[in-house]
Amino acid sequence: MMRAILFDLDGTLTDPKEGITNSVAYALEKAGIPIEDKNDLITFIGPPLADSFAQFYGFNKEQCDEAIKQYRVYFKEKGMLENKVYPGIKTMLQQLKEDGRQLFVATSKPHVFAKTILHHYQLAEYFDGIYGSELDGTRSRKGEVIAYILEKENLEKEHCVMVGDRKHDILGAKEHDLASVGVLFGYGDEEELQLAGADVIVNDVEELKQYLLSKR
């Protein structure tokens, strides 16, 4: 039985597109880079921010640190709650809890932000623990977050599964020999999830719920 289920947050439980792209655009504009189409910033959803600023804009460490600082100015004031819970998520979480599963959030986002978001949308009550990075960047890689949860919660990896929408979720799970489920209603496509080695790929929340409930 998959007793413990680890969920990514952005693109898996909630759709953070508006808040994240607005926050990134704010940071880039502060760096003198105007953004014409915020849809170009969707690639920032999922990976650690520092990786994305470096990869897509060639920022060095000092520039990344400043960009993240500016990102958080907007994110804390507005972007955090420019967010939507995917339809069916609450019902799924409730049924999984009623079925005796332990539920955790494993996000690269700072846990202080993740907790605020989950409490605001009344999702926090379903989780046995909400884990993420620290504001200084510690534990920003998904594999590090998963390792931290396994240790803190004393979980047996053979009874755990990681659910997420990007390759980072799947690769993080594989680092620790966890089963993984890729979801297609977030921001990763089927090819990305397959190449990362997802054990199962589901199309929507209903399919995800039925799969998780079936794994006894």
Annotated catalytic residues are 8
Q: Answer yes or no: are the C-beta atoms of 18 and 91 closer than 8 Å.
A: no
DSSP 6-45: EE-SBTTTEE-HHHHHHHHHHHHHHTT---S-GGGGGGGS
User: Measured in whole angstroms, how far is the alpha carbon of residue 142 from the centre of its chain?
Assistant: 9
Q: Answer yes or no: are the C-beta atoms of 163 and 7 closer than 8 Å.
A: yes
Alpha helices (H) in the chain, listed in sequence order: 17-30, 49-57, 61-77, 89-98, 111-120, 142-153, 167-175, 190-196, 205-214
Q: How many CA atoms lie within 13 A of 167 on its CB side?
A: 9
Q: Answer yes or no: are the C-beta atoms of 201 and 182 closer than 8 Å.
A: yes
Q: Answer yes or no: are the C-beta atoms of 157 and 176 closer than 8 Å.
A: yes
Contacts of 81 (CB under 8 A, 6+ apart): 19, 117, 120
